[in-house]
A and B are shown apart, each in its own frame.
Chain A
Amino acid sequence: MTTDLSSSSTPAAPAPNLLARLLRAREASLILILLTLVAVTTAANPRFLSAQSLRDLALNVAIIALVVVGQTLVLLMKHVDLSVSSVLGLTAFLSGSLFVAHPGMPVWLALLAGLGIGAALGAVNGLLVAYGKVPALVATLGTLYVFRGVDYAVVHGGQITASNLPPAFSAFASGSVLGVPTLVLLVLAVMVGFSVYLRSYRSGREYYAVGSNVEAANLAGINVGRRVLTGFILSGAIAGLAGVLYLARFGTVDAAAGTGLELQVIAAAVVGGVAITGGVGTIAGAGIGALLLGVIGSALVALRAPAFWQQAIQGALLLLAISIDIILARRAERALQERSHR
């Protein structure tokens, strides 16, 4: 089983250091896969790289990538937030209703409302997990149902359509700066902001500490409860913001909006190297994971893969990505151990 692996690697030649480091730098290998995929697809169908299809791709990926940012914060702490899809659906409808009630409302107010509603919903999760000691999987599976139920109760069979939305919001939705859609820029800004926060701020580092070893984090003087609560509030707020962007992107929202999104989000994070066992991962990696899944999806369309096979192929690739990831991680770990023994 594992013997052949270790025996072949023990006397290994001075391992190609650059390659090893590249493999360990998760983002680099993902980008390599991404570029290969884009190159192959473009060779087969040049229209894959057309401005319009790139724009569609970016917009589709942006919303998932945004939700992944919040999910990453939670996953880093060895928790999970399954309720993001319901938060997104509920805020999408509520912000739409706000526009219906107050057509003159400025766009920034809608974004703020989405953030606020999402944060409130996230606080419910955070309180349950941090202070109610309910395991995150149970708590957020429960609120996945509760928030969706509230959504259905509020929507009550109705829906928001693009015609309900004021021109200012539609302009925001279709607007772009230097050819890059405003929505995408907004998401990129959030990603960069949280990357810097996680990398360079004390409280940002605490997410890693909590996920690596709760007791150690506690002994180190980290207020674990407050950190977990904050993480869930941020995850909710970001999902709420994503809800407003969802409304902007699609214009039409009913009670089922965003259903099932939670698994895509977790899949993107996992492919992007965020360990569901906590303590490992970056926003950049998670974002690239979302991008990779999005590119796979649209590449299959561009390559004219049979429509009904696309989901199966995506599933297989997802599985492959997860498997390769863990094998590489384990190799790197073993190499590290061998080096320290020598």
Chain B
Amino acid sequence: MSVSKKPARSLLGWETTILALVIVALLIGSTLSDAFLTGANLSNLSSNLVEVALIALTMTLIVIAAEIDLSVASIAGMCSALLGVLWAAHVPMPLAVLASLALGTLAGLFNGWLVTRLGLPSLAVTIGTLALYRGLAYALLGDRAVADFPPFWTNLGFGLVPGTQIPIPIVAFAALAVVTAVTLHATPFGRSLYAIGASELAARFAGLRVERTKLLLFTLSGLMSAFAAVIYTFRFSSARADNAAGLELAVIAAVLLGGVSIFGGRGSVTGVIGAVFLIGIIQNALTLADVPNEILTIVTGLLLILSVLGPNLAAQVKASRERQRHAAAARGGAP
């Protein structure tokens, strides 16, 4: 009773909270509108959040390692533009998709190279490449839009798994989420990310190859952004230079709301996935209830702030209460 459990906000606690919030949001959503808890709507809901969800997976790893990647949406825009340009130039689609994925991987590798080789802060590097990659997207495609993608491919973007209401991209996401979760939580590589995020110096002394790990993380982030770009392009049947613009903030909001510490060293894939769905469900439910868009923006921002502020305030209240109790005990126990 005297010594409280050490980690005041254990990860399990926050994950449970997120899960509870998801359920509450589902309940409130179903009371707001009859159309909410239908297969078609849930299918549409999950389809809408798939790009953010995908990029959030690799962003989780990066933030746990105490770095950040602001260029993800620009990488996606650039890869979408390349896909459009290649298709418009009659390159076979599988080849165009592969080229887009390769470009994203290279873009991520370049971020990682700047961060690890030159030792630049990732915030500064990726603000730079955010501008650079979006600029290259415009250089590739200008303000044109390529839209005449073949039905087989666009179906991969917005189609459903035959016989179900499950969107095809969500299946890919589920698979990648499992891979990411297992990698992060059950492999030495995953544990090394926490070590690097908690203290890079200590990780170095422990013999972890910090540079190589970070290089890999940024490369993976680029590849994932490209993958999200391919899905985005097919889902909307449109390749444009401004595709996915501004998505980086949505991704980071989801990662932080999911309980990943911006200072690194703490967080889980489950929490982040919960947060992605929480935001998606709230936005969908409010939209169905005819709540205007601006309220959605406000709610997203408030959620983000409260997710950190809430536990902080609770910890402060608890600490001050403990202090009072100690003071009372000291007074009562004095001889």
Residues of A within 8 A of B (CB): 128, 132-135, 137-139, 141-153, 260, 263, 266-267, 270, 276-277, 306, 308-316, 318-319, 322-323, 326-327, 330
Contacts and interface: CB of A to CB of B under 8 A. Distances in A.
A315 B128 contact: yes
Interface string B247-289: 0010011001000001100000000000000000000000000
Contacts of B134: 311, 315
A263 to B, nearest CB: 6
B64 to A, nearest CB: 15
A153 B128 contact: no
Interface residues of B, number: 49
Contact of B114 (A266, A306, A313, A319): A319
Contact of A141 (B142, B252, B294): B252
Q: Main secondary structure on chain B at its contact with chain A?
A: helix
Contacts of A151: 294
Given A277-B121, A309-B139, A318 B305 contact: no
Contact of A143 (B124, B136, B296, B301): B301
A281 to B, nearest CB: 13
B121 to A, nearest CB: 6
Given A150-B298, A276-B124, A319-B129, A141 B256 contact: yes
B312 A132 contact: yes
29 contacts: A133-B312, A134-B308, A135-B263, A138-B304, A139-B308, A146-B305, A149-B295, A149-B298, A149-B301, A151-B294, A152-B293, A153-B292, A153-B294, A263-B70, A263-B131, A266-B127, A267-B128, A267-B131, A276-B121, A309-B139, A310-B135, A315-B132, A315-B133, A315-B134, A316-B132, A316-B135, A322-B124, A322-B128, A323-B114
Contact of B305 (A134, A308, A309, A312): A134
Interface of B: 70, 114, 118-121, 123-125, 127-136, 138-139, 142-143, 241, 246, 249, 252-253, 256, 262-263, 292-302, 304-305, 308-309, 312-313, 316
A137 B123 CA distance: 11
B135 A309 contact: yes
B261 to A, nearest CB: 8
Contacts, number: 139
A54 to B, nearest CB: 25
A131 to B, nearest CB: 9
Nearest to A147: B301
Contact of A146 (B127, B143, B297): B297
9 shortest interchain CB distances as A-B pairs: A312-B135, A145-B301, A315-B132, A311-B135, A315-B131, A149-B297, A149-B298, A152-B294, A146-B301
B132 A318 contact: yes
A313 B119 contact: no
Given A149-B294, A319-B128, A322-B124, A141 B249 contact: yes
A313 B135 contact: yes
